[in-house]
Amino acid sequence: MKAVILAGGYGKRLRPLTMDKPKPLVEIAGKPILLWQIEWLKKYGIDEIVLLVGYLRDKIIEYVGSGRKFNVKVTYVVEDEPLGTGGALKNAELVLRNEEKFLVLNGDIITNLDPLRLLANVNENIVVSIAAVPLRSPYGILSIDEKGYIIRFEEKPIIENYWINAGVYAMTPKIFEYLPDKGDIERTTFPKLASEKRLIATKYTGVLWRSIDTYKDVEEAGKELSMLKGA
């Protein structure tokens, strides 16, 4: 089973951290995001990694190498120019088209969700299963009674009734019929699959999930992971 990691972006919102290193090598609680991902995948028996690299790719290749030091097998697919998430994945068709199914994940997330559940949900009719997690409010939430008194303050709670794309997918090779040469999969491919009812969500609750988009995310994820390691 192969897992594809989209690791070619510029990480502009994380500058200056990404001025001299690609986003997947930004450290969270003492380890690069990419290493967190590799260790997570290995726990579920997934040890064949396809890295889609672009920006500062030599840094990733130098760090990961063949993958042997992490007990995984690594293949690299290089984009010579920015292709977007959809184009980057299409660029890897030769490596993936003979697979029955495979995982795809953004190179900026840290999670412990069970990816095998995703893989179980794709078949000849369902081309993609998207991991969905409850929305975490970016703000503190006030509970206010009928007289205007604040009765409770919740700091960035999980909002259970709203679901977001967790950036982890299971796919079949049928996906290559829908991918653009350039462009993001979320704006091109997924709407088309949804209209054909070939796209499904796999819901996860009570899992660790963090997207590392800003410096604030680096700090907050670091604190959360340090607490988990110390527990």
- For the beta carbon of residue 226, count every other beta carbon within 10 angstroms: 13
Q: Helix, strand or coil for residue 213?
A: coil
Q: Are 41 and 111 in contact (CB under 8 A)?
A: no
- What is the token pair recorded at 124? 């000849």
3-state secondary structure 53-69: ECCCHHHHHHHHCCCHH
Q: Helix, strand or coil for residue 18?
A: coil
Residue type, 58: D
Active site residue 156: yes
Check 21, 31, 101, 156 and give the catalytic one: 156
3-state secondary structure 72-111: CEEEEEECCCCCHHHHHHHCCHHHHCCCCCEEEEECCEEE
CA distances from 152 to 53, 146, 147, 159 (A): 46, 13, 14, 15
CA distance 147 to 131: 41
Q: Hey, which residues are catalytic here?
A: 156
